[in-house]
Structure 1
Amino acid sequence: MADRGASRLLLVLTTIICLAKSEPSAASPQCSYSVRAIRFGFQFKMTSFPTGRYTISVGEEGSPTTEKIVNVSSSSKNPTHEIQHLKPCTEYEHKVTMLDNNGTEISCSGSGGKAKTLNMNEQDVTNSPCIPGHVCYHSGWNINSSVSAPNQTQQFRNGTFGFKLAEDDICSNFTVSFYQDNCNDSSFSLTRYIPADYINPNEMNQTQHNRLPAEIETKLPPNCKNLSIEYTCSESGKVGDSILLSNLEPFTDYSCTGLIKNNNVSINKKTPAVQVNIACDFTMVISDTYDNESLTVGWWQTTSENCGAVLPNLEKLSYTCSTQEVDGDAKKHAKTVRQPRGGICTTYEFKRFTDYDVEIYPTYNNKKVSQGLAFRVRTNSGVPDKVQQLKVRLIKNNVIRVSCSPPVGGFKGPKKVYIVRLSGNREVVETDECLFEIGDLNYLTSYTVQVVAFNGKHESEAETAKVSTRYNNKALNGILIFILIRLIIILVAPRLAVFIKKQKKSKRVTREEVKLTSTAKAYI
């Protein structure tokens, strides 16, 4: 029994000590407050508020706490303080603490420590100005978790929240639904028409096509049926000029912006600048050539996939044509004439039957803009010049030797042939070297020797020399022998006749003597 009584006494003493600790001393100031729900949050009314620094805290269970610091002086006459931008239909825990002049934190007594906010209605949400490409609303409520829309919610400062608009949202109705889980029958929706003014030009997809007439393709919201864009451009380095997109020139830097119009009326929005420089892809093909003794003319055709539609109208388009002898002198510029679909290159003083490298390239505004056309060409055969240093000499009485040097400038053709003509009646051809031996000529005859150079197509003017043959040695010797024989005959024949006559007479006398002798013997 004694132990039980001691235990009870100890319990009473402990209770008294705890109560003494929990209650403020008579010297500590007392503070108290009351709470009531108002639109967008709570109103705290200080029923007892000694001088000091007060902290009003409001928070959901397990969620961050919203705090408000209030400094109360002895002369303060404002006992009410509000905390707004809370969630509707939501229960919050609340407390107020005071920090007195001694640095002691004192908890103020309040109404239960918990309170619930009011419902939200349509009047609590209003339309609000917004950045381009968004639709925005304003409310004193924190409704991040109480709103539903096709697009993601974006929270802004001062109670403004908004939604990034998709292309399909422009020029159509946009609906936002608001719901409150802890309130009955308090959900509602707001629908508003989104006009073309809500377009964000910075997010418009602009595609610049590399062709003339220039074109910038811009993707417009599909539900906006009357939208159009009028582009104007300015040339780089030129201030104040304004050029329509359809009048742009190639190979020139431009900056182009588009003015957005609705039913041909500006909505005061411009697209970001698009940098434009259209390069024409010229393709050049030789179509025909003409070549004579004094000039060579080449025609070519020009096409362009990017600029073919405006090619005849490009006034600043021209061509440069140059020629250079292969392994020869420096380039020579030729005369060029532009035609609507090509051009003409005229070159004078070409060497005949000579290989040349030809280059034709287009220029725009006196600047080379393409690689152009390069090819090698051989000029047609020309007329060779006269042969040089013609020499004709008699090497036998009726044999001559003809020699000469090649014509100045060569043969100007595919062949190298020398032709010798004698008084126009006889022709001798030699292909490699101007060196001829021509025999069987008439003796004691004058000849005109003509030598020409022939290149397979053209003959040169003849170079001329004269030569005369001598007498025929063999014929002269025969005549002399014949005359000698005749003289011998003339001189010897008479004496020979006398001799022969004497011989005949002598033989007749002898025969008669023999005959007489024979007759005498017969008589004897």
Structure 2
Amino acid sequence: MARFFALGPLVLVLCLVLCSSNSPTIMQSATPTPALPTGSVKGFTQPDSSTLTNASITPTNAAKVKAKDSVTQPDSSTLTNASITPTNATEGPTEIPQKCQYSLIKNEDKAFAYVVNISSSKNQSYKILIMDKNNNLFNSTGSNLQPLKIKFEWLKPCTVYNVSVNGCIPNGNMTFTSSDKDETVSCTNVSKVEKMCFNGKINGIQWNLSECIEITKNNSCKTEKKHIRFDTCNYTVNFEMPPVTPNISFNEAIPSQFKWNNKPTQCNDTLKVNCAYDKNKIPKIYDVNVEVSLLPNKKYSCTGEYPYKKQTIKSNKLSFNISCDFKRNYTFTNISQNFIDIPWESPLEEKCSKIRWQNYLATCTQKNSETKKPNPSASCLQTNSNSTRCSIKELWPYTTYECKCNATVDQEKYEIFSGTLQTSPAQPNFTMPIEVHLPSHNSFAIKCDNLTGSNVWNVWNGEKGIFTASVKRKSYEVASQNNSECWFLFSDLNYLTTYDIEVTAKNKQKLSTTLTATWTTKYNDKAIIGILAFLIVVTSIALLFVLFKIYLLKRKRTAEDEEILLTPEPLRRVEPIYAGGLVEAYKNKIADEGRLFMDEFQSIPRIFSNYTIKEAKKSENQYKNRYVDILPYDYNRVTLSTGGEDNYINASFIEGYREPKKYIAAQGPKDETVVDFWRMVWEQKSSIIVMVTRCEEGNKTKCAQYWPSLDRETEIFEDFVVKIRSEEHCPDYVIRHLILNNKREKGSEREVTHIQFISWPDHGVPGDPSLLLKLRRRVNSFKNFFSGPVVVHCSAGVGRTGTYMSIDAMIESLEAEGRVDIYGFVAKLRRQRCLMVQVEAQYILIHTALIEYNQFGETEVSLSEFHSVLNTLRQKNGSDPSLLEKEFQKLPKFKKWRTMNTGSSEDNKKKNRDSAVIPYDFNRVIFRLDIEGNQTSDPEDEEEYSSDEEEESNQYINASFIDGYWCNKSLIAAQGPLPSTAEEFLLMLYQQQTKTLVMLTDCQEDGKDYCFQYWGDEKKTYGDMEIEVKKTETFPTYVRRHLEIQSLKKKEVLKVDQYQFLKWRGRELPENAQELVEMASIIRENGHYDNSKTNRNVPIVVHCNNGSSRTGIFCALWNLLDSAYTEKLVDVLQEVKNLRKLRQGMVETIEQYQFLYTALEGAFPVQNGAVKTPPAKDAAQVINETTALLTEPNSTSGADQKEAEESTAAESNEQGAKESSTAEAPAAEGDGEKATSEGPTNGPTATVEV
């Protein structure tokens, strides 16, 4: 205990210690309360986290503790610890020196505590005593030359001391307190126990304080106050408890969830869970108490991390593996030659049953195969939560496959099944050519070409069998042989005899198709030597005669290259047709299966042989020709002026109507001729290119893509740079605006408009001639006075190209002269390029296009001119009908247009609301009761329909497919369901996968039943179909119901939005046309029909009472709005005409026709001189369905049904003759237009009024 009496400053360090590895909590304040004169803790410094170690506590601010000089502690021999007694009692009388005084001076620089100065006349040492309150003392010596410096280390905290010097008189106060030095408190982590303890040091001696505080969930992150007694000092400490070590857990399932089991309520920060299962992958961070998608069968290591005071407190470590067995029970079903089904049904164990698979990938690879066959294609569909089916197509017959299926989640694959199967045998695919050799003049050696190597698998399709070859003469078998290899020798045959050779291959099950060849044996060489000698003499004489005749002919030529023009065959005399006689002429020619059309067309020479084609036949130019038999004449071919000697391109100048070189007819550019094509466009200053084909049709290349796509923007073809500025897609054509630059001519730039017609079918001709009239209007809208010839091309540059040019020229003739000479103009075209207007169907199409133009004229109106044109159409002159009324009167009624056998049968009459509105057979909606889901069968487009051909499962409903603007069958016009047809109506919606349903009537109007209410407040069931209203919204003009339809045979639920228009009840027409337009706009937006590529194949179902009176107006308005939004053009007459061809009773009155114009007028008002589209405005309110139905008043239908009076000229000839074949000539394989029809054919529809 003697060390406690040492003189010197005292340093007190108070520490807060945390258990475990957590960071220590920093004390906020520490105020000492001394038992005697009070000492104070003037400074408190929070330690940096780097200083927190499991070591003894040291002051944080070392500068405040360490003394500035090196005063040492007095030797222990000089320090005593005894009771205080009077000096004279212990030592006796002492001589008092003269003038000896001492004083106590406080040291201000803090290097030591106090200085005892002695002032004496003698230079001697004096004994200095320092005593505390408990009479503990220690002594030292000092003199007037060497004062005593009292260090802080010698003193105890919060203690009062008294100084005395034997033999000297004090000068001033000799009492002082030891706690005048600043003290610093800091913390260091010294324990890993879940407790907070207080430890301290004085002069390096550890003092154990009274208690430790346990860290719990309840006191974590709380501020506490603690009273501590340290030796002679009392301290009050304010501090914050650290958080308890987190404890986390999880539930072993997918999806999983992490939980923080001991989360303190006072701690605000969020604990994150750090998980990793692969050291090469970046760990993922998850939140607690939320679902997380962990991967099955992975060894996870997870640790919770909690941020606290710039440090991270880690939880216990979780190591786990969610084990899942994904191997499923499966079967190979429907195994055929090239197809298998692999269904499996087996629910996963509960913990793995909710895995969200991203996709399934099934693969089949050949097993132990010597040859490599193409890989099959596979598709997998999860039919419900516990059932999945994979279908694998394009397998090869009699082949062993190893098939497996992997399911993918988060880019990890898991095997579902694997197995081995063998496909069924098939007919041997024996398609190799037969090679016939003549070992002698009366024998055959027959073998099959390429029956080795990689092609063997493509022959047998089963176990290897035998080949059989037979030789026949006039259908009688002469000889037959079997062999395991395809090699046969037939000898001892007749000389100079033609034999038919037949070769077949048979595996163990099936026989291949028969390969045939015809071969003729040679002469009897042994018996004909004499005859040959005679023939040699005769042949020599004949050869000399021929050479002599050739010599005479050459002498008659004026020059070596002079051509003698042959006299063309005389053409038939066909009189021009006047405008008023077009319909009658068409009827006469189309009668008797189009016999007159065929005779007239075939009388025009295909090629005029008096025109030479020398340049096209040169060997260096032959690769530039797409077809060997379609070559330009020399006299009018387009010559490239900048190509040097290589100036050839397969293109011809063509005259228009009284305009030379109006067109250039060209073949579709090949990859090798794209540069020549752009050179021609540049040199001829052409600004318009009309392309009447697609680049590929029927898997055959028709034309190279010689323009850049929007993705690439620019293509460079040697000297020519082609850029695309914009691209406009319409249903029947695509307009591209191109920029053409010639690198040889700096600063030059030309605009070229590229119009591609995409509605020409792969076979035949367009059924609607108005499409070509529309194409002509687009082309003419881009023409200007200074542009060069219009370049028109298809694939060969003759058939479709000549058809378009003929229509364009003959319309100009019709406008100028009031008559047309179609026969003469086609003959004139063929004098300029062979085979122009190539097939009879194209020749008929020219006639029907001119009839269409002459009957209806130009009825298309742009939006920019719509209002002025409409004002003109409405003007009346006295009692005369207006132009709008005259336009309506032009519309044909299509009497006896198509058959209606199914809807008119006795069994189905009761299913029709109106006997005047029955769907045509060719486009009625057919559905099947025995087909589940969205499987439908389309009816064939035939003139005659036999009910005997209808299967029992094909059901009838009064509904018709209606062509939309973007594609066919995008609308369905239906009558309001009857109670007896509600199930069929819902089944139609379900199988067609309809998403939008438009209802234009109330269920009852003026006491008449317009529509059976097939929905209700609660779920309703009709047969196998269920319907339920999930939500109802009411708007000022319509009600929107969210329906769910389900078949009891299927689990899939169809969601349908029903829009019921409320402003038509009791009226002929809606009072405000704009309200109907606004509802159509809302449907377009909600159903995503504004994008032309969206929902094209999902029809919108529209119904009123009879499916025509109001439905026809909506369908017409829907298509007209599509056209207006896309092309900024509308054609009301053509739209109504097309609707009348698809269903009876569509837009029958002039009032309905005028309503369409009025609706468009309101939809696109004029604002500031420009046409604007007004925004839709509506407010929604959820209402009770029953209340909404009860509050709707009844009304009557606005229009009576009129009897349909329809007439037509012909629709592909009512006798059922087919369109002309467009098969290719062998020399021009691949061009769908390039063919010659030898038999009678018919062209497209011509609509006429009788």
* Larger Cα-atom Rg: 1
TM range, smaller chain? 0.3 to 0.5
* TM-score normalised by length of structure 1: 0.41
* TM-score normalised by length of structure 2: 0.20
Give 1 or 2: higher helix fraction: 2
